Structure 1
Amino acid sequence: MFLIMQPAVAVFAGGAYMMDTDGDFSNSFKNGLVRILAKHPIPFYYCIGFVIFFGVVGFLGLIAQFI
């Protein structure tokens, strides 16, 4: 399951990285609680991809419940 999930998280992380071309999104966390992650782009975007992945899985679970 871990090996199936990682490419999907990487795709979402890559998408988040591609949309944040000028770095404004990652720089907005420099003063917050996540400032350690905001300094290093790979873990920061991986965490963003992780959150997006589970959001999509949760949304698909809600849709599957009503089908």
Structure 2
Amino acid sequence: MSKLADLLAQQKELEKQIEAARVAEQADALKQISEICKAHGITYAQLKPVMVKQRKRRTKAEIEAAKG
């Protein structure tokens, strides 16, 4: 194999390892979040507004202007 092919194979393996580490860390973070919510009595209803980006409501004038 050429040096390039070896490096590309290493890159593929590293990408797999990175993805596995990302998934594991994400699972750990979710577990920590769950534990904190339980410890403080935080419900999903309380957490959702903080986690979801609120969309700005458009005025009727903005909607009409967009229609052209």
TM range (shorter): 0.3 to 0.5
Larger Rg: 2
